[in-house]
Amino acid sequence: MKRYHLRIRHLLLALFLIAPGMPLAQAAEFDSDSPTVLVTGSNRGIGLEFVRQYAALGWNVIATCRRPAEADALSSLADEYANIRIEQLDVLRHDMIDALARKYRKQPIDVLLNNAGFFGDTLQLSGSFFGRLNYDLWDLYVRTNAIGPLKMAEAFFGSVVMSQQKKIMTVSSLQGSIEDSYGEGSFFYRGSKAALNMFMHTLSGQNKVKKAEVLVGLFSPGLIIDDRTRNLRLDGKVERPVSVSGMIEVIDNFTPEMSGGFYKYTGDTVPW
Ligand SMILES: NC(=O)c1ccc[n+]([C@@H]2O[C@H](COP(=O)([O-])OP(=O)(O)OC[C@H]3O[C@@H](n4cnc5c(N)ncnc54)[C@H](OP(=O)(O)O)[C@@H]3O)[C@@H](O)[C@H]2O)c1
């Protein structure tokens, strides 16, 4: 009888641990003396590198991604650093954003880092071919690259306000700059990043944001050297860790005068 009760208790405990909203990789408690960053799209690329570098710097890291069960590189990092918590988040899903923001409503978030973005696997996906554009794709681009970060800012605003640093930082792209973007195609990617730039610039000017002294920044990370770009003859190529450590330095030294602006990973201003 006693053993039977014990089994029921274990079963109830297991059900509690896998209840929705629990971090998928159960991590140690966050250190309340350390700053906290939340990163979207943290399972690969620039987002994963942000997690690696912030974790190594001793920050509490809320690392979000769409499919934690498949995020092997991120899980290995979380095994290495107890200050990383993995959470499931699809920025297209506003119900998911609201649920995660509710879960962290008492957690100060010093840097909300909107990194998740969608370029498309092929040139055609990024809305490249004038004369053969698939207009149905625009919705996916703008909802991922522009509306997603704005909704994140709205949902997590309370957590940002209660932090010490109060920063909302978003990875945009040089391709969102009307003055500096050139070359063929990518209508929808460029259009969505230009919309993102306007959204974040507008956000920085809101009374509520200025009153709360929240700083808003946009970044061009440069053209990251990876399998896709290694052999391209293009200017502005940069190794991922260099770009990310540059952006972290700019975020660390971000001043109120910089709020609402668009910066390279070096800290230089990018023209709109
Ligand atoms: N790489 C460059 O040269 C470059 C240049 C300029 C700007 N950027 C910008 O930098 C950011 C990161 O780029 P990257 O090079 O690291 O790209 P990447 O390797 O393609 O990674 C994109 C990340 O965004 C995530 N993502 C896409 N849609 C999402 C959604 N609906 N919800 C949550 N996460 C989503 C992806 O998750 P899944 O794995 O689930 O797809 C992935 O984690 C993007 O905003 C991109 O536009 C990159």
User: Which atom of ligand 1 is found nearest the CA of 91?
Assistant: 32
Q: Does 227 reside within a domain?
A: yes
Stated pTM of the model: 0.91
User: What's 12's domain CATH number?
Assistant: 3.40.50.720
Using DSSP, state whether 169 is helix, strand or coil.
Answer: strand
Q: Cα–Cα distance between 259 and 158 in angstroms, integer?
A: 18
Domain extent for 17: 2-264
Q: Does 271 reside within a domain?
A: no
Task: Judge contact between 219 and 171, C-beta under 8 A.
Answer: yes
Q: Does 252 reside within a domain?
A: yes
Q: Does 242 reside within a domain?
A: yes
Beta carbons within 10 angstroms of residue 54's beta carbon: 27
- Please give the radius of gyration of the chain, using alpha carbons only, rounded to the nearest integer: 20
Q: Does 112 reside within a domain?
A: yes
The pLDDT value recorded for residue 125 is: 65
The pLDDT value recorded for residue 234 is: 84
- Read off the DSSP letter of residue 139: H
User: Per the structure block, which two tokens stand in for 48?
Assistant: 């994963």
Based on the structure, what is the number of domains in the chain?
1
Q: Cα–Cα distance between 95 and 234 in angstroms, integer?
A: 40
Q: From the first residue on, what is the mean pLDDT of each consecutive set of 10 residues in the chain (272 residues)? A: 40 38 54 96 98 98 98 98 98 98 98 97 69 90 98 99 98 95 84 98 98 98 93 90 98 98 98 97
CA of 70 to the centre of ligand 1 (A): 16
The pLDDT value recorded for residue 139 is: 96
Burial class (CB in 10 A: 0-12, 13-18, 19+), 64: buried
Q: Does 270 reside within a domain?
A: no
Q: Does 185 reside within a domain?
A: yes
Best residue among 53, 66, 172, 180 to mutate for probing ligand 1, ranked by most atoms within 8 Å of CB:
66
Q: Does 272 reside within a domain?
A: no
Q: Which residues line ligand 1 (CB under 6 A)?
A: 40-41, 43-47, 65-67, 90-92, 115-119, 144, 171, 173, 221, 223-224
